[in-house]
Amino acid sequence: MRSLTVLGSCGAWPEAGRACAGFLVEYEGFRVVLDLGYAALPQLLQHRPHAEVDAVVVTHQHPDHCVDLSALARVRYYEAPDAPPIPLDCPPGVVDVLRALEPNPDPATVFDIHDLAATTQLGPFTVESIQLPHYVPNFGVRLTAPGVSLAYTGDSGPSEEHTKLAEGTDLFIADATLQGPSPQTTPRYVMTAAEAGRAAKGASRLLLTHFWPGSDRSVSVSEAQAEFAGEVIAATEGLTLPL
């Protein structure tokens, strides 16, 4: 099985019945989670009832991308105390957030923690990471395995690095927090849907995510389609896409 399932699609906080950032990537039995924000763990448990995952990648330390790691740690600590630690690849600030939430058990006893900036391999995936503009250190990631290539921006303002991240991928997952014209303020730390469309140049498909709560997602899709010739999809909880 080669697929990506959306666990959460909201930015900042989750709308009722939704969750913040999270994706489950499955490749021939290897399961990696990309981000795990507010309310994303219950979504994961619908697919993996005992949180059976092989690795977690977190792009940055904002709680809408990482806070449910604390809940995942509790599931593993209490339900599988003898299981080996879960590989967690993230910027160092993520671990600081986890320790502030729950220092006991220490996250390092549940997770095998690695600096995402130095990660090059994760199970079957070759990993490329690129630091992208945001309020805190944030890494875009590209995962490549035989027959599969996808990339994810985390949260990011406009950047020339996006084209490098997206080039040749089957699926490009992009922050589309805003709608309408690009803000003229600088620096920029999140994208519009149209900017996400431009960033996806070179990819086959674009998955928009990180919608501001209350946004009409069909508007975001239309704005991205005006800039991107490939398929544009709005992330929604429970959506599974083949890879």
Q: What is the mean pLDDT of residues 203-223?
A: 98
3-class SS string, 110-170: HEEEEEHHHCCEECCEEEEEEEECCCCCEEEEEEEECCEEEEECCCCCCCCHHHHHHCCCC
Q: What is the mean pLDDT of residues 47-65?
A: 97
In 3D space, the residue among 37, 43, 6 whose CA is nearest the CA of residue 171 turns out to be 6
CA 131 to mean position of chain CA atoms: 14
Q: How confident is the model at residue 60 (pLDDT cuts 50, 70, 90)?
A: very high
Residue 96 amino acid letter: D
Contact 33, 8 (CB under 8 A): no
The mean pLDDT of the chain is 97
- At residue 142, the pLDDT reads 98
Query: Cα-flanking dihedrals φ and ψ of residue 46, to 5°?
Result: -65, -30
Q: What is the mean pLDDT of residues 45-68?
A: 97
pLDDT in tens, 91-132: 999 999 999 999 988 999 999 999 999 999 999 999 999 999
Contact 152, 58 (CB under 8 A): no
Q: How confident is the model at residue 47 (pLDDT cuts 50, 70, 90)?
A: very high
Of the chain, the percentage scoring pLDDT greater than 90 comes to 99
Contacts of 110 (CB under 8 A, 6+ apart): 73, 76, 77, 85, 86
